[in-house]
Amino acid sequence: MQQQNQTGQKRSVKLLWKAFWIGVVVFNLLIIFMNMGWLGYMPSMKELENPSSALSSDVYAADGTLIGRYYVQDRSTSKYSEISPNIFNALLATEDARFYDHSGIDPVATVAIPFYVLTGKKRGSSTITQQLAKNLFPRENQNMLTLPFIKLKEWVMAVKLERNLTKNEIITLYLNTVPFGDNVYGIRNASLTFFNKTPDKVSINEAAVLIGMLKGNTLYNPRRNPKNALNRRNVVVDQMANYGYLKESDAEKVKQEPIVLDYHKLDYHEGTAPYFRQIVEQEVKKVCKELKKPDGTNYNIYKDGLKIYTTLNLKMQQYAEASVEEHIAEIQKLFAQQSGYRDGAIWVTNKKYLDKAIKETDRYRALKEDGKSHNEIISELGHPVKMKVFSWNKEHTKDTIMSPIDSIKYMKMFLSAGFMAMDPYTGEVKAWVGGIDHNYFQYDHVNVNTKRQVGSTIKPLLYCLAVDNGFSPCGSVSTQPQQFPYVGMYDAGGSKYGQLPMAKALALSVNNAALYLIKQVGVDAFADFLQKCGIRSKFDKVPALALGVPDISLYEMLGAYTMFPNGGMNVQPYFITKIEDKNGALIKSFVPEQKEIINAGTAYKIVKLMRGVVDYGTAKRLRYRYGLTSDIAGKTGTTNKQADAWFIGYTPQILAGAWVGCDDRFLRFNSEALGQGAAAALPIWALFMKKVYADKSLDIRTDAQFKEPENFDDCNVYDPTSMERQGTYNSSGTVPSEQNDEPVEDTDWQ
């Protein structure tokens, strides 16, 4: 009996050993099969070293300042040398103290798992390398049955990482892929977002806050849960002291410090130059369709971590945004108080536009899809509800109660604006303001595809063609009604002046004088000239072209104007200088389009003519109201019934233009005095230039003067003394006391 028991025990032992060795073989085969990818997808070492995680693309201003990102996930990368030791120390002390001692799997932590399970204590056993493997290839279809296999797969990836990468490369790759709060990925983005500094400059306190977020990026988010973040920060600091990264005394000092955020989340709508970032995004997406990566696929602005460098001058951009806000907020009060606007009568007389706007809303369409009738929808949209709407206050928003229909009326009655400034010699765009607030009004009024009637801003181009074809700027032009073949008589106003010096005709923006000139040079010739100047917008070849009837973008108009200060050389605006890949390799550079349109003599004659607009013409409030005494040339523009107000002006160093109006053209100033270009658009330009001149670091000088070309035949384009005798100008740059306002442009045309 005893012998039988011994035999049975020996058999059991053999079976156990057999099972053990079978298990070892099976386990090793399992590891081999996993590594070979025979038991599901296993990433190659190339994929592990170069994870396909989507990297955000960064866009920079001219001085290298980061102004925006384009991303699916807000992710960026840093090199080991670009990360502060404070961050590494906080991470190691909190997540993996034996990181430099193990080979991807920590045997001590792994063996301790059953103990923590039995005692009910919750403690992570994954190393940084294992967590990296999980971050690079997140778990899918996880359940109790698949979890052991998933975990084993992560072990295999961790060992592969350890065998092929250095420890410093692994910990850097981990910090570049880990998620922080507010949908921010990677230590660089986290440092910039929460503390507005690059990761190499992060303090111990800040490092502990950032690493503390890894345990719960919402629970320990210092912006959303500051108390939780502070407590977690202190835990991290204690761990740093426990593992010798900090002295106890230093740790206590750090724990007494408050968490001071310098939060700069680069949001699509918020921040500097949102309209500019929008146009850069659109342009880079076009470029990406033409650029191939080494693997033959196209670059992706949202995933490939591109570095996009632009021409934007941050200071000028800030001055431009401030000038638009200052002026539009002021004239909006006058606009809203007009008869028909204050009492809402404008919507009764223009009901078809309101109906169209209502039907274009998402809410109307959704209710229509639900089977409701038009009348039922209108009834529902007429009930007041709580909502946020735009307001000219500090926050640009206010909480209110109004019906969705009333909110449409309210929002549509806000004046909008477009403003752009550029260097007329290089073509570099320095400032770009496409509207009054990107959160509520995303339509960009600078964009080349946004076109409005340009009014009299087209006249300098017509005068330029006339002068280039032999007309003397010192000669006279007729202001009588003009007869054209096939279209009959045109009388757009101004015949009361009789014969006028060309300078005065442009300064006062006399319409019949422009009709006279287009008749002399030819409608077709002028249309061809506009296209030669870089205007790509479509327009009819009609005599009214001389009066600015075409819809043209502000972007195109500024490009056409560059030839005046630039001695006849046309330079098209551009705003991206180069694009690099995620490693800093150049993949695309940009240069401006340049071509000579007119000679330097013609260009300077037009500059002198356009000085008259500022010195004694429709733009003279630049002198007497805004006190600008520098060398300036420009042109106002006003379309019929004040639907569009323009001013484009330039100095020897900078060219800028402003447009003001409502998106719906029936909404406009009733008063010519308030709605003309000189009153509605010019002040933005003036306020901007005053700020630019005041900032000496920009080196835009008030004493800069337009240079007369060599051998210039000067016929004294305008004589200020002569104009003073006519009662429109005096030598001090101000108007005579009996005349308080500048002339109003002729706008009586259709």
CATH code assigned at 203: 1.10.3810.10
Residues 256 and 124 in one domain: yes
Residue 541 lies in a domain: yes
Q: Report pLDDT digits (tens) over 267-322.
A: 666 778 999 999 999 999 999 999 898 888 999 998 899 999 999 999 999 999 99
Residue 115 lies in a domain: yes
Q: Where are the alpha helices (DSSP H) in 565-644?
A: 600-615, 621-624
Collapsing DSSP to helix, strand or coil, 401 comes out as: strand
Q: Is 217:111 a contact under the CB 8 Å cutoff?
A: no
The CB density around residue 540, as the number of other CB atoms within 10 Å, is 10
Least confident of 159-173, 490-504, 507-521: 159-173
Q: What does the mean pLDDT of the chain come to?
A: 86
CA distances from 748 to 149, 418, 525, 666, 743 (A): 81, 24, 25, 16, 14
- pTM: predicted TM-score of the whole model, two decimal places: 0.79
Please say if the pLDDT value at position 519 is more than 90. yes
Element (H, E) at 60: strand 57-60
- C-alpha span between 30 and 28 (Å, rounded): 5
Residues 379 and 498 in one domain: no
Instruction: Write out 539-578 in H/E/C secondary structure.
Output: CCCCHHHHHCCCEECHHHHHHHHCCCCCCCEEECCECEEE
User: What mean pLDDT do residues 731-744 have?
Assistant: 39
Residue 372 is given by DSSP the state: -
User: What mean pLDDT do residues 417-427 have?
Assistant: 98
Give residue 157's pLDDT band: very low, low, confident or very high (50, 70, 90). Answer: confident
Give residue 164's pLDDT band: very low, low, confident or very high (50, 70, 90). Answer: confident
Q: Where are the alpha helices (DSSP H) in 360-414?
A: 362-369, 374-381, 404-412
Collapsing DSSP to helix, strand or coil, 522 comes out as: coil
Q: How far is CA 742 from the centre of its chain?
A: 36
Residue 323 lies in a domain: no
Please say if the pLDDT value at position 39 is more than 90. no
- C-alpha span between 326 and 337 (Å, rounded): 18
Residues 65 and 209 in one domain: yes
Residues 464 and 603 in one domain: yes
The CB density around residue 378, as the number of other CB atoms within 10 Å, is 15
User: Given its phi and psi angles, is residue 37 left (phi above 0), alpha (psi -120 to 50 degrees) or beta?
Assistant: left
Residue 77 lies in a domain: yes
Q: What is the dihedral of CA 126, 131, 133, 137, to 10 degrees?
A: 120
Residues 136 and 58 in one domain: yes
- C-alpha span between 206 and 544 (Å, rounded): 65
Q: Residue 202: its pLDDT value, please?
A: 95
Instruction: Write out 475-493 in H/E/C secondary structure.
Output: CEECCCCEEECCCEEECCC
Residue 374 lies in a domain: yes
Residues 394 and 540 in one domain: no
Element (H, E) at 330: helix 314-336
Residue 634 lies in a domain: no
CA distances from 634 to 201, 317, 459, 613, 744 (A): 48, 21, 11, 6, 15
Question: Which domain range does residue 519 map to?
Answer: 418-573+590-607+643-717
Q: What angle do CA 226, 229, 232 make, to 5 degrees?
A: 155
- C-alpha span between 32 and 39 (Å, rounded): 10
The CB density around residue 629, as the number of other CB atoms within 10 Å, is 12
Exposure letters 32-66 (e unless 16+ CB within 10 A, then b) = eebeeeebeebbeeeebeebebbbbbbbbbbeeee
CA distances from 334 to 328, 646, 669 (A): 10, 18, 9
Please say if the pLDDT value at position 18 is more than 80. no
CATH number of the domain to which 484 belongs: 3.40.710.10
Residue 622 lies in a domain: no
- C-alpha span between 317 and 465 (Å, rounded): 33
Q: Report pLDDT digits (tens) over 338-371.
A: 999 999 999 999 999 999 999 999 889 989 888 9
Picking from 747, 737, 472, the residue whose alpha carbon sits closest to that of residue 608 is 472
Residue that is written with structure tokens 């900090």 in the block = 246
Give residue 733's pLDDT band: very low, low, confident or very high (50, 70, 90). Answer: very low
Please say if the pLDDT value at position 40 is more than 50. yes
Give residue 42's pLDDT band: very low, low, confident or very high (50, 70, 90). Answer: low
Q: Report pLDDT digits (tens) over 392-401.
A: 999 999 999 9
Tokens for 366, please give them. 């959704």
Q: Residue 227: its pLDDT value, please?
A: 93
Please say if the pLDDT value at position 33 is more than 60. no
Choosing from 359, 378, 412, the residue where a domain stops is 412
Collapsing DSSP to helix, strand or coil, 386 comes out as: strand
Residues 350 and 465 in one domain: no
- C-alpha span between 621 and 676 (Å, rounded): 12
Q: Residue 391: phi, psi to the nearest 5?
A: -150, 150
Q: Is 436:325 a contact under the CB 8 Å cutoff?
A: yes
Residues 152 and 16 in one domain: no
Q: Residue 699: phi, psi to the nearest 5?
A: 55, 35
The CB density around residue 166, as the number of other CB atoms within 10 Å, is 10
Give residue 732's pLDDT band: very low, low, confident or very high (50, 70, 90). Answer: very low
Residues 403 and 493 in one domain: no
- C-alpha span between 649 and 686 (Å, rounded): 9
Higher pLDDT, 75 or 574: 574
- Bridge partners, residue 476, by sequence: 501
User: What mean pLDDT do residues 170-183 have?
Assistant: 87
Q: Is 646:637 a contact under the CB 8 Å cutoff?
A: yes
Residues 214 and 106 in one domain: yes
Residues 366 and 483 in one domain: no
Residues 62 and 108 in one domain: yes
Q: What is the DSSP string of 416-470?
A: EEEEEEE-TTT-BEEEEE-SS-TTT----SSSTT--EE-GGGGHHHHHHHHHHTT
Number of domains in the chain: 4
- C-alpha span between 434 and 272 (Å, rounded): 12
Find the farthest-apart pair of alpha carbons in the chain and give their distance in angstroms, rounded. Answer: 140
Element (H, E) at 57: strand 57-60
Give residue 179's pLDDT band: very low, low, confident or very high (50, 70, 90). Answer: confident
Collapsing DSSP to helix, strand or coil, 657 comes out as: strand
CA distances from 474 to 255, 463, 500, 567 (A): 78, 12, 10, 20
- C-alpha span between 538 and 548 (Å, rounded): 13
Residue 748 lies in a domain: no
